[in-house]
Structure 1
């Protein structure tokens, strides 16, 4: 393999000895070491540090050091966190970097052959990267773009139009890749700006809980993230920049909502009706429709008795009021998921009092990087050190992906006598429990209130951005309760406590929808909403296609979420790649449409249910509500497969799984 490296950001004259020294002092050692190998072409560096790592592991094993979790929890002696080099080896890497990189930053080794790449990836992550992961890592770390599988010998016909619904992460990705593949497309976005959830959620502290350097498009890396976990505004700025670079704005119809889509069998087309800002309804025809709405869109506003009597202000975090003044206000926050945990520490300094109503607490783990800035030296390294950014991204993905796959899976023998699902699950639980006790050393009452009664991963694991610290403040009170009734001047909780309030913040999440808010009608007049019981029991082939709805691609559909690790961005790229491959197959073979065989879809979902039946998502150990599961307790969000397996499934369509229809003569 060959590849070239071009520094991004400021001009090369900013590569000074001082800047280089500052970068070496703070840059991630694994990515720094790999950059040294690219610059020098000296593979003996791999030998040298592989031996040092092996020696450290032997010493650690012999010394009986601590057991670790993926979150760094330890018991016993202090151990090196997963994916990190021991302190002395990290220091040795920096010392060698000062020798190797000062001679210049020209590249002697481009993208290595697969086996060498696998070896480098293993050392970078201080782990073992098997051969099966290499193609995925090459793409997801941005070393190369997704490789097309369907041979491209024909271009789409002029009337082969594609409609994309939604201009969030997946919608923008679809626009870019459809355009690059030569398909005419239009994106309809009901809001007046792009960004999806990151234009909608503007509450204080809104942020991504996936690392910045991974939560971005693999083909559009950003070296200038200011935080290791991006804030909502910074991520929105990133998306706007991508849209500008690829000229997407000219193909996006803003303030235009899609109200219906109907498949016309005789024409082998979709008729899509839209409602414009002025209320007018305009129909469009398209050969294919791609929904890019995600599954969490409509705010979940609880029906609490007396809401209309409250004399203060009630605001949902997804509908944040820019004029809301919280200074010296008595504030009640309802909810305990990622949003509530972000809001509380970001308003605690200005409010008179904060009462957090926690009905069902999540497992909360420590993660210092959630609130840490990226040092300027490391940002400089991202821009200027050859391939540093790629290896940094690879490492961020690797440590939060299929390494975590065993954690939500149930070990029946272990689970029979433990709340946790397995030894791996128990390590995560102990991490959370130890963190809880450390955070409130003199408050066993809070230990009880903040300890969940369900298995780890049955709901989303929350990385603490300062929630526990906020609860330690004198003006904060935690209630293990929900609001029972709202009065003109406050809230009565389900445990009978009355709380005076000026503002009530509903951090209560979203309704699970899976596109059922749109009236989608397939063959024989079948409505998708009816088939999916208004979103309560959605089923699809590969989480994307539904039998009876030709050329409809429901991205981020049922059982497609990577809930054991990584982030929504990998789903975005997997699904968009698959859509383009399917459409190209139609073009190449002069087909008008493809429709998944109903038996194939049924068998796929049987396999999904069987795999999920061995997870905490199906058997959480206690009654659990949330968007992972439907009203019958079936997991409808989580994908049961390893990320590498799902990625492989989506490289190209299995054509024997479909019924194809040719264009009418």
Structure 2
């Protein structure tokens, strides 16, 4: 692709230079080219890059030409609806909301944002660009959200960070392809500085209450600052950017208070934690545990892992690899290289997978997989597990899930299976019955002597913004609206009876089939800022999604999920609530959600006019 941009020569789009289609979990880095073709491609690139004047012959091939390029790049026909999305994400088209007449002077809306994680930072940056007044209240001492709070050993991202980054703020300084926590935290901090939003963030300040005032059509918000004193604030628009993963789920066992050792959750890892030479237990085998265990195993005396459910995991060779000097040179010097690399990650870690997660009603093995491709993924990963544990056949059944692959997010083998084979590491599949002063006893009656117990038990994701104590119109509490583990919102963003209230990373917006939380933040930021701009432009004071719109949207989500893996009866996951409804992952392709959030439809809302506009133009907006 880069050679075509550089030279304009269409021969690079024809055989034998067309990459081969590759649907494996891990793509062939050589794209199916033989050694001779690879060498020819490299030589041609070197020849062009050695020229004194290096002006690409083709910058933007246009929408039709771009559709051809991305299809050639993937070795498959890409549906036309992706073209605009990918062109914007790659920077070939603008992706910002603008004022229709270029003037923000008539905007009468100001915004309070709760949270300065990747969503809050993104929204603040775009509000600042538009000249819309805003303030951010962050309960922590720095930006970053989940990346600020989670500091456990081995913490990192399982999405390639060239995609897990803002499209409008590419980072040329990534040191890894899958960045560890510190690198990600630094990126978010640097973005907050570069976007010029720090002076509008109040750190160590928590929102304790928010209520809608119908008389002033504003949100009254109570915040508690670092001095512990509460004060009142208000804004026309209230946005929760508190996210999914900031309320740890802490398991409670009988006798736990009697344990004389340390107990802590991975998300509350003590700064002074010292595990050297200690007998350590860890509850859980999810994403956090899979990162912690291989990282700490070398320093502890013994490590006992208490497993409820095994997890599907796959190897990714780049996971621990630094970005080599040569690779970094390509990102820095080869025109368009970084854009195409990002697109490759978008496709492989995004919508490229969802189509294989649909139930095939004619599939002959519905208990273990969904369809033929899902079965192939299962076999690949099961074979990998068996190979890694070939010297410990007693562990193979314990470590091989019985539910279909992707019923829970696929994890990355960060040395997990190798660590399980270490002589001082034990995998226990009997549940913990109770604690004693010196350890715990499992259901089989075995006593496990421990000095430290780590809870890698995940997060409570059904409360979301409801834990902010939000009260809408007519005294309606969000906690009541979302009671019984059943949060619902139109587009995951708006809730009836809560005017001018928006939720980021809300219900059914989790990336269950793959994707990037930062990509989601950009998408929802676009929708929210577009709402505010349209409100100002059309003289709208308040917008409140209609109950029937949310109801229809939720019914659509439930119908779609019935056809997808997360309602498979063999899968136990926090994705589903007590009624079996899936309330975490979205069932849509990323492109579908992107299209739904491009332009707010005010027919979906109850709208009221600004008094100044209503007096001058009484027929403009219905109340």
Q: Distance in 2 between matches of 1:334 and 1:598?
A: 41
- Residue number among 652, 656, 661 corresponding to 2:599 in the alignment: 652
Aligned twin of 1:94: 42
SS in 1 for 2:387: helix
Q: How does 1:2-401 map to 2 (within 5 A)?
A: 34-47=1-14, 50-53=15-18, 69-72=23-26, 81=28, 84-88=31-35, 89-104=37-52, 105-148=54-97, 151-152=100-101, 154-155=103-104, 157=106, 159-401=108-350
Separation of aligned partners in 2, 1:125 and 1:229 = 22
Residue 460 of structure 2 corresponds to 511
Q: What secondary structure, in the 3-state scheme, does the structure 1 residue paired with 2:67 have?
A: helix
Looking at structure 2, the residues matched to 466 and 527 of structure 1 have their Cα atoms a distance apart, in angstroms, of 46
Q: Is the 8 A contact 1:167 1:194 kept in 2?
A: yes
2:472 to 504, 522, 530: 522
- Are the structure 2 counterparts of residues 417 and 592 from structure 1 closer, same or farther at C-alpha, using a change threshold of 3 Å? closer
**SS at 1:333's partner residue?**
strand
Gaps of 5+ in 1: 1-33, 58-67, 73-79
| Residues 540 and 557, structure 1, Cα contact 8 Å, conserved in 2 | yes
Cα offset, 1:427, TM superposition = 1.8
Deviation at 1:82, TM superposition (A): 8.6
Q: After superposition, what is the alpha-carbon deviation per residue over 1:249-276, rounded to whole angstroms, capped at 9, x for unaligned? A: 1000001101111111121111111111
Shift of 1:657: 1.1
Query: Deviation at 1:280?
Result: 1.2
- State how far apart, in whole Å, the 1-side matches of 2:227 and 2:45 are: 61
Q: Distance in 2 between matches of 1:330 and 1:45?
A: 59
Partner residue of 2:490 out of 531, 541, 556: 541
Superimposed CA distance per residue, residues 227-252 of structure 1 (whole angstroms, 9 cap, x where no aligned partner): 11110100000111111111111000
Post-superposition shift, 1:623?
5.5
Deviation at 1:465, TM superposition (A): 1.3
Deviation, 1:654, is 1.4
Per mean C-alpha deviation after superposition, the further-off stretch among 156-165 and 401-410 is 156-165
- Change beyond 3 A, Cα 1:550–1:503: same
Q: CA–CA distance in 2 between the matches of 1:87 and 1:165?
A: 53
Q: How far did 1:468 drift?
A: 0.9
Q: Distance in 1 between matches of 2:123 and 2:101?
A: 18
Alignment of 1:368-447 (within 5 A): 368-414=317-363, 417-447=366-396
Contact 1:152 1:588 in 2 (8 A): no
Q: 1:152 to 1:346 in 2, by over 3 A?
A: farther
2:335 and 2:17 map into 1 onto residues whose CA distance is: 24
Q: What root-mean-square deviation, in Å, do the aligned CA atoms of Structure 1 and Structure 2 show?
A: 1.9
* Total equivalences in the alignment: 609
Alignment partner, residue 582 of structure 2: 635
TM-score, reference length from structure 1? 0.88
CA contact (8 A) 1:481 1:493 kept: yes
Q: Any residues of structure 2 matched to 1:480-519 within 5 Å, and which?
A: 480-512=429-461, 513-519=463-469
Given candidates 590, 598, 601, the residue that maps to 2:539 is: 590
Aligned-partner Cα distance in 2 for 1:376–1:431: 32
Mean Cα displacement is larger for which, 519-528 or 487-496?
A: 487-496
- 1:119 to partner: Cα distance: 2.3
Q: In structure 2, do the counterparts of structure 1 residues 327 and 603 end up closer, same or farther at CA, with 3 Å as the change threshold? A: same
CA contact (8 A) 1:189 1:256 kept: yes
Q: If the length of structure 2 is used for normalisation, what is the TM-score? A: 0.94
SS at match of 1:413: coil
The answer (yes or no) to whether the contact 2:392–2:421 under 8 Å persists in 1 is no
Equivalences for residues 533-572 of structure 1 within 5 A: 533=483, 536-572=485-521
Q: 1:98-123 CA distances to partner (integer Å, 9 max, x unpaired)?
A: 22222244333222211222222233
* Contact 1:83-1:126 at 8 Å conserved across structures: no
Q: Partners in 1 of 2:364 and 2:536 — Cα distance?
A: 51
Residue in 1 that maps onto 2:554: 605
Residue matched to 1:7: none
Residue aligning to 2:615: none
Cα 1:90/1:487, change in 2 over 3 Å? farther
CA contact (8 A) 2:156 2:180 kept: yes
1:4-41 Cα deviation digits (max 9, x unpaired): xxxxxxxxxxxxxxxxxxxxxxxxxxxxxx23322323
Deviation at 1:44, TM superposition (A): 2.8
What is the rounded CA distance, in whole Å, between the counterparts of 2:245 and 2:443 in structure 1? 27
SS at match of 1:298: coil
**Alpha-carbon distance between aligned partners in 2 of 1:506 and 1:430, rounded to the nearest angstrom:** 31
Residue aligning to 1:614 = 563
Aligned-partner Cα distance in 2 for 1:103–1:432: 46
- Residue deviations 1:432-464 (CA, integer Å, cap 9, x gap): 101101101132221110122322222111111
Give the match's secondary structure for 1:431: helix
**Given that residues 544 and 607 in structure 2 are in contact (C-alpha distance below 8 angstroms), is that contact kept between their aligned partners in structure 1?**
yes
Q: Distance in 2 between matches of 1:153 and 1:100?
A: 41
* C-alpha distance in structure 2 between counterparts of 1:399 and 1:90, whole Å: 22
Partner Cα distance (2:446, 2:92) in 1:
57
SS of residue in 1 equivalent to 2:419: helix
User: Could you tell me whether the CA contact under 8 Å between 2:99 and 2:130 is conserved in 1?
Assistant: no
Conserved? CA contact 1:186–1:252, under 8 Å: yes
**SS state of the match for residue 595, structure 1?**
strand
Taking the aligned partners of 2:88 and 2:434, their CA distance within structure 1 comes to 52
SS in 2 for 1:426: helix
Match of 1:64 in 2: none
Any conservation in 1 of the 2:367–2:570 contact (CA below 8 Å)? no
Task: Give the conservation status (yes or no) of the 8 Å contact 1:596–1:657.
Answer: yes
CA contact (8 A) 1:84 1:125 kept: no
